Amino acid sequence: MQSKTNNDRLKELYLYYNLNKEDVFKHQQFGFIIITRTGIEKIMAKDEIRLEYEVVRCEIDFCAVKCTATKFTKDQKIISIPTFGTAQPKNCQSTYYLEMAEKRAKARAVLQITNFYSLGVYSEVESDEFKK
């Protein structure tokens, strides 16, 4: 039996989460797949993912936010994944560091708990250079 390729697994995830062309794009320079904010929201809704936030650090030029994503598996087990998002002048053009750190933590948590991250998929908010 042949194992599925990453592309096969991605296609299955796209179909399962009802993602379309507006929800994903390929990074022109680096070639990896990026999911938009609307795609992240669709994924969250489909799996009824719950998020909890904790501000780890917030200063004038650096913010870090912890986000824990929780969902039920198909066999009704609860899984939780914590992750972090940061924002600072080196990685963010906006000066809304707390909000950007929150968005990044949210997107990472959602992508990790749904296995997109294991396939090399990122969210557009993770870096200003990822945006279309």
| Predicted confidence (pLDDT) per residue in 19-50, tens digit | 999 999 888 877 789 999 999 999 999 999 99
Cβ atoms of 121 and 107 closer than 8 Å:
no
User: Which range is most confident: 16-20, 28-32, 128-132?
Assistant: 16-20
Would you say residue 1 lies in a domain? no
Cβ atoms of 126 and 104 closer than 8 Å:
yes
pLDDT tier at 128, thresholds 50, 70, 90: low
Would you say residue 30 lies in a domain? yes
pLDDT tier at 7, thresholds 50, 70, 90: confident
Q: Is 99 helix (H, G, I), strand (E, B) or coil?
A: helix
Per the structure, the complete domain to which residue 86 belongs is given by 6-130
Would you say residue 90 lies in a domain? yes
Q: How many domains does the chain have?
A: 1
Task: State the pLDDT at residue 127.
Answer: 62
Q: How many CA atoms lie within 13 A of 88 on its CB side?
A: 11
